[in-house]
Structure 1
């Protein structure tokens, strides 16, 4: 039986890594993938390890996590190769037949481990991508990212504001325009099932449902995910209707981040609906929304005017977001 190893940071995993691992697992009978991470790296090591496990689940590939704080270049420590050998030996098959890599270090690593080196796409002619390029411009390299990794880099846009200001329609229209997907407002789903009733204990259900729907649909998004409301707006509604908000919902609202918020103003007609409650108080509600966005230091754009004017302003704002490299 032949054995092999792939070692990498996978910062983040991309289709070049997938090709390397797929090549290796078809080359040998037993393959071990070592995800080597450092605590200071920009994407948590545990997440990268879980991504790799997900990507190769059911293939017979063994994925292990090496999170020791090891030197990253021979110039950093006189015993560089010994330290790496000592760290790898307990994780890999003995004997090890092959080391697979798309980097030149593979020659020396294979020698240290007593294995043969098999180089795979070192010139990046098959998969012209690297972790550095992805981190610098993830949207430009979108097609090289597995779905689980795409969800990490997807730009999230929240459509935010008072009732009857076109949020749901706008989110759907933007999703169609950008060939992506919109997250529906979970509060509407729940309240409609209760014939328009809402009680204080429903707030946590609404928050859980909204967050779960957003995270589930992030993998289906094409670079940008449009969210019809978010948990910060849920906290505003909870305060407005019930004079308070559960601590867990407030904490989660602070934790979740959005790259852009589209705040819809109230300069459009009110449309009656069984899940709308404040026909006379939309202006005050709008002011509260803007105050909370500012307090949470959210990047936002106010949408005013006709439906077409709002849509065009929103498209311009999203285009600008997708053009950013930060």
Structure 2
């Protein structure tokens, strides 16, 4: 007879304690079912208690599938109920779990000693197996993460989960305002990933921008940049830094071709960043071979036009002024506030 077990939870969020339990359980039975128990009302209330961001059931289900995709004997199921806060019906929950699995359950896994009595009553023919109940191997719990915050427990957040919590900081501005250097420097300081301006990469590949860039290049720039963001987010350490975004791409489409492109506007209106830092063009203009708008009057005109486009797209931003050193300090203070870290003196 095959042994069949299940390990359930809200996974709000999924953490390394869950990972340990899933791996141990999967090596104990022939078939293991991971049960995501979810109720939007109850889960929202749980998160609101500690001002933790609500995570949809779809996102949590995806995490579990990503985590177990190479575990051939593990199956992930989602079971929804309409219970409110502290109203979980254990008997109804057990009935739904048994129906969903559709096989005799020989093992029930958890990390909670307090579940022993209820599991004996609901799963009479099953063995309750405790995994790391004293949190010795993995000193973490979802409650601890929701209370203390994700960043205080970052090492206990699985790699498949971390990108969800990465703060995305975009740095924008017109030509020669210091954004590319600032983006790289911030990523180095915070020991994380960054995204280069993909439009510059394309211009370098074609040998320039002015007079030779084509209309069809700009959607490619916008889409290519988003793919670079996705890749960087997957490897980021709590935060990531991005050099420009779709509104800036639209700005350059206007500047070089005198044409707005609807597809770029749509990208700009749907993109989401946690912080947008706008660098004023108040440092000396430097000709790097690709820049062509160095006259003070044109720099000012371009600066105002970019701000108008950002307003049209509903993009909030924080203005950063001063020398390169001053901009660095102001940017770091803005990042630290976002992450809940102490400001610089």
**TM-score, structure 1 length as denominator?**
0.89
Q: In structure 2, what is the equivalent of residue 71 of structure 1?
A: 83
When residues 15 and 305 of structure 1 are mapped into structure 2, their CA distance, relative to the original with a 3 A threshold, is same
Q: In structure 1, what is the equivalent of residue 17 of structure 2?
A: 16
Residues 231 and 253 in structure 1, CA contact (< 8 A), matched pair in contact too: yes
Q: In structure 2, what is the equivalent of residue 204 of structure 1?
A: 219
The Cα offsets for residues 197-229 of structure 1, whole Å up to 9 and x where unpaired, read as 322211211111111110111121111100011
Residues 320 and 331 in structure 2, CA contact (< 8 A), matched pair in contact too: yes
Q: In structure 2, what is the equivalent of residue 108 of structure 1?
A: 118
Q: In structure 2, what is the equivalent of residue 318 of structure 1?
A: 335
Aligned counterparts, 1:134-173, within 5 A: 134-136=145-147, 137-173=149-185
Measured after TM superposition, the shift of residue 107 of structure 1 is 4.3
Number of equivalences = 322
Measured after TM superposition, the shift of residue 296 of structure 1 is 5.2
Work out which of the residue numbers 259, 262, 269 in structure 1 matches 2:277: 262
Residues 1:52 and 2:64 aligned together: yes
> Residue 148 of structure 1: SS of its match in structure 2?
coil
Measured after TM superposition, the shift of residue 292 of structure 1 is 4.3
Q: In structure 2, what is the equivalent of residue 118 of structure 1?
A: 129
Residues 247 and 265 in structure 2, CA contact (< 8 A), matched pair in contact too: yes
User: Matched residues in 2 for 1:150 and 1:17: separation?
Assistant: 15
Measured after TM superposition, the shift of residue 96 of structure 1 is 1.0
Q: In structure 1, what is the equivalent of residue 47 of structure 2?
A: none
The answer to which of 29-38 and 210-219 deviates more is 29-38
When residues 90 and 177 of structure 1 are mapped into structure 2, their CA distance, relative to the original with a 3 A threshold, is same
Residues 99 and 110 in structure 1, CA contact (< 8 A), matched pair in contact too: no
Unaligned runs of 5+ in 1: none
Q: In structure 2, what is the equivalent of residue 36 of structure 1?
A: 37
Q: In structure 2, what is the equivalent of residue 224 of structure 1?
A: 239
Measured after TM superposition, the shift of residue 242 of structure 1 is 3.7
Residues 33 and 77 in structure 2, CA contact (< 8 A), matched pair in contact too: no
User: Matched residues in 2 for 1:322 and 1:295: separation?
Assistant: 28
> Residue 27 of structure 1: SS of its match in structure 2?
coil
User: Matched residues in 2 for 1:131 and 1:256: separation?
Assistant: 29
Aligned counterparts, 1:292-307, within 5 A: 292-294=309-311, 298-307=315-324
Residues 33 and 61 in structure 1, CA contact (< 8 A), matched pair in contact too: no
Aligned counterparts, 1:185-204, within 5 A: 185-196=197-208, 197-204=212-219
> Residue 272 of structure 2: SS of its match in structure 1?
coil
Residues 304 and 310 in structure 1, CA contact (< 8 A), matched pair in contact too: yes
CA RMSD of aligned residues (A): 2.5
Residues 154 and 218 in structure 1, CA contact (< 8 A), matched pair in contact too: yes
> Residue 214 of structure 1: SS of its match in structure 2?
helix
User: Matched residues in 2 for 1:106 and 1:250: separation?
Assistant: 56
The Cα offsets for residues 104-126 of structure 1, whole Å up to 9 and x where unpaired, read as 34642453233121122334343
Measured after TM superposition, the shift of residue 81 of structure 1 is 3.7
User: Matched residues in 1 for 2:263 and 2:145: separation?
Assistant: 34
**TM-score, structure 2 length as denominator?**
0.84
